[in-house]
Amino acid sequence: MSVTLRNRLIGLLLAAAIFAVDQYVKWLMVGPLRLREVGVIELIPFFDLRWTQNFGVSLGMFTADSMEMRWILVGVTSLIALGVFIWILREKVLGEIGALALILGGALGNIRDRYNLGYVIDYADLHFGTFRPFLIFNVADAAITIGVVIILARSLFLREKQPEPNDDETAHTPAET
């Protein structure tokens, strides 16, 4: 098996694992923890489990307030997930594939919620008093965010170095005057 194929398989397994963990934690929130009925479970002074039904995407934008909008969001996010999947199949470097896998796994988890429920289950509430640095989120949201940050960081800080000219090439270049 080639290194590229191995990296892609690792990426697809990571995406599947993120999807599975996201769905399992959401099942815990709905089932055994009964968060929907309880509303809030205070864990520590700055982190609670808080039931939220997110009808929008990305910071609550593009709220699906009708059946048509719900299915448009399912379709658009599914197309984006398909694009990320194709991107994974074109990448070779494990760092890029891993970041894309985080995005794909998270996207699939949220797409499944929106398809089955009409909304995404959010529950993780990080807060410092009344200050909330993030909206209430879930494992899928965290994976997507981390994946995007990794891709941005890699594109900004890990640029490919231009090959250095060898001695023969520099010997034949005219001197500047």
Question: Residue 165 contacts by C-beta under 8 Å, 6 or more apart in sequence?
Answer: none
List the structure tokens of 91. Answer: 């990448």
Contacts of residue 85, defined as CB under 8 A and 6 or more positions apart, other chains included, come to: 104
Q: How far apart are CA 62 and CA 163, in angstroms?
A: 45
CA atoms 6, 94, 3, 88: torsion sign:
positive
- In this predicted model, what pLDDT tens digit does every residue of 99-148 receive, in sequence order? 999 999 999 999 999 999 999 999 999 999 889 988 899 999 999 999 99
Catalytic-role residue among 22, 113, 125, 141: 141
The share of the chain scoring above pLDDT 90, in percent, equals: 77
Rounded distance between C-alpha atoms, residue 24 and residue 123, angstroms: 13
Query: Quick one: pLDDT band at residue 165, thresholds 50, 70, 90?
Result: low
Q: Give the active site residue among 122, 125, 167, 168.
A: 122
pLDDT at 6 exceeding the cut of 80: yes
Full-model pTM: 0.85
Dist. CA 121–CA 156, nearest whole Å: 33
Contact assessment for residue 73 and residue 62, using Cβ atoms and an 8 Å cutoff: yes
Whether 4 has a pLDDT exceeding 50, the answer reads: yes
pLDDT of 60 higher than 90: no
User: Mean pLDDT, the chain, as a whole number?
Assistant: 90
Instruction: Indicate if 141 belongs to the active site.
Output: yes
